[in-house]
Amino acid sequence: MAVERPHPPGAYRVVVGSGPGGLQTAYSLGRLGVRAALPSADPSPGGTFLRWPYLQRLITWTKPFSEHARDFRWSERYDWNSLLANDPAHRGTAAETMDGTSYFPSRAEMERGIASWVGKTGTAARYGCHWLATRRDRDGYVLETSDGEYRAPVVVIATGMTEPYQAPIPGLELASHYAAVKPLDAYRGKRVFIVGKRNSGFELADGLLPHARRLILASPRSAIFATETHTIAGVRARYVQPLEDHILRGGVLVLDASVERVGRTGDAYRVTTRPSAGGDAMDFDMDEVIAATGFRTTLNDLPALGLRTHGHLQVPAHTPYFESATLPGVFFAGSVT
């Protein structure tokens, strides 16, 4: 007997995406009595955590024990990964799924924590429903999906930053993006060049330390760590080992240099860099090249409708109330804010 899927196409206030931002928004709208649909291309709850991070461990903490009880608001400072709920019994689901080996949840633990929250709160989504196109009409917006059309005067985009960004470096398309990195064993005994020195670049470098024969990380600007930024926008301290190996000359190079081009020489790569401080170009012959250059916001065709974005990662320009600065009625939730 087929199970009826929730949120069939029709007229709603629409939330797109089932990552944490979409689920949290749908839950909160439901508490206010707003009829919202949650169509999602994902096969199950979890969003990006169904796939990444590559080396499985998140960069944000969930501390099972703190000086505050879980039903007290300040406890949220110690749990950056559980979704919020009005009922205390529905809070702290990330901690409930963790095995205690780290207070940074693994990807699988995060996925289970989100699924647990979904089950407890009854926040339903229509999984396997792909957003194909968008158009405007006199009543608001129409979202065309693989299941049919959703109409709404207000749309909340919670699709996350999941579209791999390929920096405009000649030849970089020959490399693997972070989103398509090979199994760790494929890098055993290899010379690996990582383009990018933010959390994803250092995450890969840290994981490859026991495997790669030589590691090089490069980007024009110096790496900035969370101890300097006081935010998780900086590289987390637990990824510092590659930098220490660089300082102690342990087979790792961390370069402040632009990557000018990537080429193939037989079965290997040749990466041409230029020091940020000036000087001659430097060539490196490598076995593998990985682009840890980040992800762009998944916006489908909204820019063609007039949505303005900032920067190469196309982050939406929005008001203090998370509404698009140029498309009235389009709001954002989750990492895209």
Q: Does 30 share its domain with 137?
A: yes
The angle that helices 107-121 and 20-31 make with each other, rounded to 10 degrees, is: 20
Residue type, 23: L
Residue with tokens 């000036």: 278
Q: CB under 8 Å to 84, separation ≥6 — which residues?
A: 24, 76, 91
pLDDT at 160 > cutoff 70: yes
The predicted-structure confidence for 189-201, as pLDDT tens digits, reads as follows 999 999 999 999 9
The closest alpha carbon to 84, from 44, 111, 136, 123, belongs to 123
Q: Which pLDDT band holds residue 2 (cuts at 50, 70, 90)?
A: very low
pTM (predicted TM-score): 0.89
The closest alpha carbon to 117, from 87, 86, 82, belongs to 82
Q: Which pLDDT band holds residue 3 (cuts at 50, 70, 90)?
A: low
The answer to whether position 72 is within a domain reads yes
The predicted-structure confidence for 72-100, as pLDDT tens digits, reads as follows 778 888 999 999 998 888 988 888 889 98
| CATH of residue 82 | 3.50.50.60
Domain range for 201 is 172-293
| 3-state secondary structure string across 208-236 | HCCCCCEEEEEECCCCCEHHHHCCCCCEC
- Higher-confidence residue: 280 or 47? 280
Last residue of a domain, one of 293, 308, 323: 293
Q: Does 202 share its domain with 326?
A: no
Q: Does 183 share its domain with 288?
A: yes
Task: Find out whether 258 and 276 touch, Cβ atoms under 8 Å.
Answer: yes
pLDDT at 1: 38
Q: Work out the mean pLDDT of the chain and round it to a whole number.
A: 91
d(CA 43, CA 19): 11
The answer to whether position 1 is within a domain reads no
Beta bridge partners of 217: 194, 254
CA distances from 282 to 11, 73, 260 (A): 58, 53, 10
pLDDT at 69 > cutoff 80: no
Is beta strand 330-332 parallel, antiparallel or unpaired with respect to 155-157?
A: parallel
* Dihedral, CA of residue 228, residue 231, residue 234 and residue 238, to nearest 10: 90
The predicted-structure confidence for 233-266, as pLDDT tens digits, reads as follows 899 999 999 999 999 999 999 999 999 999 998 8
The answer to whether position 5 is within a domain reads no
Q: Does 155 share its domain with 209?
A: no
Residue 185 burial by CB count (10 A; 0-12/13-18/19+): exposed, middle or buried?
exposed
Q: What tokens appear for 162 in the block?
A: 């999941």
Averaged over 42-47, what is the pLDDT? 87
d(CA 242, CA 45): 34
Q: Does 212 share its domain with 243?
A: yes
Q: Does 143 share its domain with 22?
A: yes
Per cent of the chain over pLDDT 70 is 99
The answer to whether position 4 is within a domain reads no
pLDDT at 336: 86
Residue type, 4: E
Q: Does 234 share its domain with 327?
A: no
The answer to whether position 231 is within a domain reads yes
d(CA 212, CA 209): 6
Q: Does 155 share its domain with 223?
A: no
The answer to whether position 158 is within a domain reads yes
Q: Does 104 share its domain with 248?
A: no
Q: What tokens appear for 35 in the block?
A: 């009829």
The closest alpha carbon to 269, from 196, 336, 173, belongs to 173
Residue 155 burial by CB count (10 A; 0-12/13-18/19+): exposed, middle or buried?
buried
d(CA 258, CA 169): 9
pLDDT at 205: 96
Q: Does 332 share its domain with 277?
A: no
What values do phi and psi take at 97, rounded to 5?
Answer: -100, 0
- For the chain, how many structural domains are there in total? 2
Q: Does 96 share its domain with 196?
A: no
Q: Which pLDDT band holds residue 14 (cuts at 50, 70, 90)?
A: confident
The answer to whether position 7 is within a domain reads no
CA distances from 89 to 65, 84, 107, 130 (A): 16, 11, 23, 33
The predicted-structure confidence for 29-39, as pLDDT tens digits, reads as follows 999 999 899 99
Is beta strand 13-16 parallel, antiparallel or unpaired with respect to 155-157?
A: parallel
The predicted-structure confidence for 107-140, as pLDDT tens digits, reads as follows 999 999 999 999 999 999 999 999 999 999 988 9
